[in-house]
Amino acid sequence: MITSAFSAPVIRTGDEHAVSLDVAKQAGFYPADFTLPPCRVDRELVEGEVVTVGDLALTAYETPGHSDGHLSFHFAGSDRTYLLGADLVFWGGKILLQTIHDCRIDAYATSVFKVEKLAFDALLPGHLQISLSGGHDHVKQAANSFRQLGVPPNLL
Q: What are the pLDDT tens digits along the chain (156 aa)?
A: 899 999 999 999 999 999 999 999 999 999 999 999 999 999 999 999 999 999 999 999 999 999 999 999 999 988 999 999 999 999 999 999 999 999 999 999 999 999 999 999 999 999 999 999 999 999 999 999 999 999 999 998
Where would I find the H helices in 44-133?
A: 105-116
CA dihedral 40, 60, 69, 139 (to 10 degrees): -140
Flag whether the pTM goes above 0.75: yes
- pLDDT number for residue 27: 94
C-alpha distance across the termini of the chain, in Å: 29
CA distance linking residue 113 with residue 36, whole number of Å = 32
